[in-house]
Structure 1
C-alpha cells in the first residue's frame, strides 16, 4: 500500500498531463539559471510528473514525457538540460527550451507537452 490508496488503485499508476493553476512550486532561485528541476505532484486523480527550466527571471514548464517513446526525459535527478537545450537521456532527442519543439533526434516534427508555469514575486506557480 502506498499512501492512502490501496495497491492496484488506478490513481497510483495514472500519469496526469496537467495540474490546476495556483500551486506554488517553490522559489525560482532553487533552480540555477539554465538548469532544470523535476516536480512530482500527487493529486486525487493520479500523479503529475513535470519539470521547469529556468532562463534568467523566466521559467518554462513541460510534462516529463518524451514524445518519442513516452519515457521521462532525465535518467538522473534533474538532468534535463545540456548545452542550452533540453535533452532526452534515453535516445538523444533534443528540444528548444522556450518552445519545446524537437530540434534533433528520433522525434522530428514533435514537441514536448507544455506545462504552464509562471513566476510571481520570485516563486514558481502552476498557471
Structure 2
C-alpha cells in the first residue's frame, strides 16, 4: 500500500499551486493565532486555561505542512540528468519546484512552531 502511495505521489504534477500550500497554511495559522489570542484576551484578560481549539488548529497546520513537505521530498527524487542542469527538461523543472516546496515547507513548519510558542510561555495578555 505504501509503495502504491509513493508511486501515486511521484506521478503527481508539481505546479506553482503546490509550492504555496505550506506558506499559505502558515499564514492561515498566523491569522488564526492572533484572532484566537485577541478574542480570549478581550474576554478574560488571559489566554484560555485549556486552549484545546488552539492546539488542534496548530496540529492540523503542522500536519498539512508535513504532508506537503513529504510529497515534495518524494517528487524531488524523480530521476533525471545529473547536475549541472543546462537544459530545461520537464524532470528538472519538477525537481526544482519540488525542492523549493520542500524548503518552504520546512520554513513554514518552523514558523508555525514559533507562532504557537507564546501560548506555551505566556500566561496573561499583558
Same fold (TM over 0.5): no
Decide which structure has the larger Cα Rg and report it: 2
Q: Which has the higher strand share?
A: 1
TM-score (norm. length: structure 1): 0.24
Q: Name the TM-score, length of structure 2 as normaliser.
A: 0.24
